Amino acid sequence: MAVVAQVIDLVKYYQMEEVVVPALRGVNLSFERGDFIALMGPSGSGKSTLLNILGCLDRPTSGRYILAGRDVSQLSDDELSEIRGRYLGFIFQSYNLIPQYTVVENIEVPLLYQGRLDAQTRRRCIELAHMVGLGDRLHHRPTQLSGGQQQRVAIARALVNDPEIILADEPTGNLDSKTSEEIMQLLCALNEAGRTIIMVTHENDIAAWARRVVRLRDGRVESDQRLDLAA
């Protein structure tokens, strides 16, 4: 399988007043097209920092990040924004929906920021709303939706740019067990359709939906296990 993203000797330090706090200490990982990876580890292990760097939301202190064959480690903010729009989709634990916008309008947000919103792309947003089971909620606002429905909006929004990789940060963290299972079934269906998914979770039952589990500890890779090959 083709490698769609790779981090090489990735190091990240944060300066906290006079104290330097290491978050990543030389991480090496490759991510293949169509993979479904769960990033796990205790608080402070570096998993969220790694996800932020993979999402071009943060920069490494040193090391390289290769995305779609391009070293994006030292790109400008404008270049990183372009990369995010072309290759990446984001799903957040807190949904990050705009309260004043309807379901369709929230799905449209990435296109709006990129100046790509027109009649054709709006139809795609409506199609995505139907795909995630919200065809009868197109004009509802987030306060009129359940947590699971809000996360479905977030998933549709993550797909609107047809991204190479979907990055999910605790996507079921605010959901009950039944709704969590529904969201994971949806993510699995997207993965089976060819999407690459990298997901941070602290829950073993959620990680079990993935094909591969990478465990971090103290900023280093502790283990890297392929669940589909271990079955």
Q: How far apart are CA 62 and CA 14, in angstroms?
A: 12
pTM assigned to the model = 0.92
pLDDT for the residue numbered 194: 92
pLDDT-flagged residues of the chain (< 50)? 229-231
Question: pLDDT of 82-117, one tens digit each?
Answer: 888 889 999 998 999 999 999 999 999 999 888 888
- Exposure string for 63-101, b = 16+ CB within 10 A, e = fewer: bebbbeeeebbebeeeebeebbbebbbbbbbebebeeeb
pLDDT for the residue numbered 18: 86
CB 103 within 8 Å of CB 153: yes
The DSSP letter of residue 164 is: S
